[in-house]
Amino acid sequence: MKRAIFPGSFDPLTLGHYDIIKRGITLFDEIIVAIGINASKKYMFSLDERQQFIIDAFKDEPKVKVVTYKGLTVDFCQKNNVEFILRGLRNPADFEFEKAIAHTNRDLAPIETIFLLTSADTSYIASSIVRDVIRNNGDYTKLVPDSVRVKP
């Protein structure tokens, strides 16, 4: 069984994330969407809200599992028998950043990182941009799956 972890903070889940997960499903038997917990980071959405956004977005997809974790992604992979890390690339800056992480991960454990290019129509979407749109009362619904909604 080929399993991949798709790690991130998902604050919130965007259409870019959604696209990578949907396309990853065609490559792997299981995609574990793993929400990393970082106590030093201030999130817009609670961990429970972020988890529910993803669960609701993939409620009809049995190949997607949603978990939370702390610590190194490679440690999570080794403890859970996951051989692949799935990452999306939007632009050259993402590539350089992700390449450094992938090389570090390979030094730490025998884990392969698989990169998928984001679709052209979602390549500009970042969670930080979505949060800014939300903070400024813009129409964020064009940037996220239907499961992601701000409570009034």
Query: How many angstroms separate the CA atoms of 127 and 20, rounded?
Result: 14
Closest Cα partner for 84 from 60, 53, 59, 105? 105
Is 147 a residue of the active site?
no
At position 14, the amino acid (one-letter code) is T
- Residue among 3, 22, 63, 90 flagged as catalytic: 90
Can you name the residues that pair with 114 across neighbouring β-strands?
86
Is 41 a residue of the active site?
yes
Helix (H, G, I), strand (E, B) or coil at 5: strand
Q: Which helix (H) or strand (E) holds 34?
A: strand 30-36
CA distances from 77 to 6, 11, 46 (A): 11, 22, 24
Q: Which helix (H) or strand (E) holds 114?
A: strand 112-117
Is 131 a residue of the active site?
no
Query: How many angstroms separate the CA atoms of 32 and 143, rounded?
Result: 22
- Residue among 40, 41, 42, 151 flagged as catalytic: 41
Instruction: Give first-to-last CA distance, the chain, whole Å.
Output: 42
Is 127 a residue of the active site?
yes
Task: Kindly list the catalytic residues.
Answer: 17, 41, 90, 127
